[in-house]
Chain A
């Protein structure tokens, strides 16, 4: 019999050319929470962060909500996940920190997918390794965040 199940779902949507809005939800036996982030595409800055602890275990869990706005102004680079988990997870909520990381990974994935789509439209015979090299050269912070390495 199923003992535990966690579902996380994240969507990335455009807000004009300059911003992306990321929304994530987490649901399992113990917790339900949601996280929304506005990200500036050119500076890779988290412009706005809002979180909601919907279902939780202790009377003190709600204290975590205030902690996550500390991420406003943080930039996406290879150290961001560790910073979120340490500074926000330990002082706020580890589960919300994990959801937030998933949201930012999805933003980075959306940028990668958008560039790939455009490159494949321009060149249907595109070599994926060359695309990855170019993406890494043009957007090194996102490439390193995603841990990309071309073959």
Chain B
């Protein structure tokens, strides 16, 4: 079957030294292409630089995003960021699509910072698993974080009831 339409997105997070992280999020589809670049300082997790570039906009619906990008300076990666970013970038002089890309970029920084903790949890509280939908020849999950450690993690109010893993505990 031949595809009628494709969307590809890639978000990359890297540490660039002196407590700065750079996140680049790129999205391309048949009609639209954009790239978001953020630089975020730790431990305050505030945005120090933001660039929002529209590379292709076949319908010409996205305005110049220089001003919305400048409004992102100082915004913190953390609670409330969704509402703030939608207001700053997704409004009438911005783009809801690009606002979503900014939020994806911020969320991937959180994921990047979570990886070491999850690795530790899997090493210390990991359980062997043979998931029924995995395999039958190649298994992607050999060890996952076990029930006991999940319970400990669910004590964090940000995780409790946030998804199926942290419900009914």
A residues neighboring B (CB under 8 Å): 1-14, 20-21, 28-30, 32, 52-65, 67, 89-94, 98, 102, 105-107, 109-110, 112-114, 116, 128-129, 131-132, 147-151
With A and B bound together, what is the CA distance between A148 and B167 in angstroms? 37
Q: List 15 A-B contacts (CB under 8 A).
A: A11-B5, A12-B3, A13-B3, A30-B115, A54-B133, A58-B146, A60-B165, A62-B132, A63-B164, A91-B163, A93-B164, A94-B163, A106-B7, A109-B31, A113-B30
* Nearest-CB residue, chain B, relative to A28: B111
Which stretch of B43-51, B56-64, B71-79 is in the interface?
Answer: B56-64
Residues of B within 8 A of A114 (CB): 4-5
The answer on a CB contact under 8 Å between B4 and A3 is: no
The answer on a CB contact under 8 Å between A11 and B3 is: yes
Q: Which of B1, B4, B14, B133 has the most CB of A within 10 A?
A: B4
The answer on a CB contact under 8 Å between A90 and B4 is: no
The answer on a CB contact under 8 Å between B162 and A5 is: no
B residues neighboring A (CB under 8 Å): 1-15, 21, 29-32, 58-61, 96-97, 104, 108-109, 111-112, 114-115, 118, 122, 127, 129, 131-134, 140-141, 144-147, 150, 161-167
The answer on a CB contact under 8 Å between B13 and A2 is: yes
8 additional contacts (CB under 8 A) given A12-B5, A90-B161, A90-B163: A12-B4, A55-B140, A57-B144, A98-B104, A105-B7, A110-B4, A114-B5, A128-B58
Given A67-B164, A94-B163, are A128 and B8 also a contact pair (CB < 8 Å)?
no
User: Which label, helix, strand, loop or mixed, suits the secondary structure of the A interface?
Assistant: mixed
Residues of B within 8 A of A11 (CB): 3, 5-6
The answer on a CB contact under 8 Å between A89 and B163 is: yes
Q: Give the 8 A-B CB pairs with smallest separation, nearest first.
A: A110-B5, A4-B112, A4-B13, A12-B5, A60-B165, A63-B164, A64-B164, A147-B96
User: Which label, helix, strand, loop or mixed, suits the secondary structure of the B interface?
Assistant: mixed
* Nearest-CB residue, chain A, relative to B131: A62
Residues of A within 8 A of B114 (CB): 30
Given A11-B6, A13-B1, A57-B145, are A32 and B115 also a contact pair (CB < 8 Å)?
no
* Nearest-CB residue, chain A, relative to B134: A54
Residues of A within 8 A of B10 (CB): 5-8
Q: Which of A63, A113, A150 has the most CB of B within 10 A?
A: A113
Residue from A6, A9, A93 in contact with B163 in the complex, judged by beta carbons closer than 8 Å: A93
Residues of B within 8 A of A61 (CB): 144, 164-165
With A and B bound together, what is the CA distance between A112 and B1 in angstroms? 20
* Nearest-CB residue, chain B, relative to A63: B164
The answer on a CB contact under 8 Å between B150 and A58 is: yes
Residue from A1, A54, A148 in contact with B140 in the complex, judged by beta carbons closer than 8 Å: A54
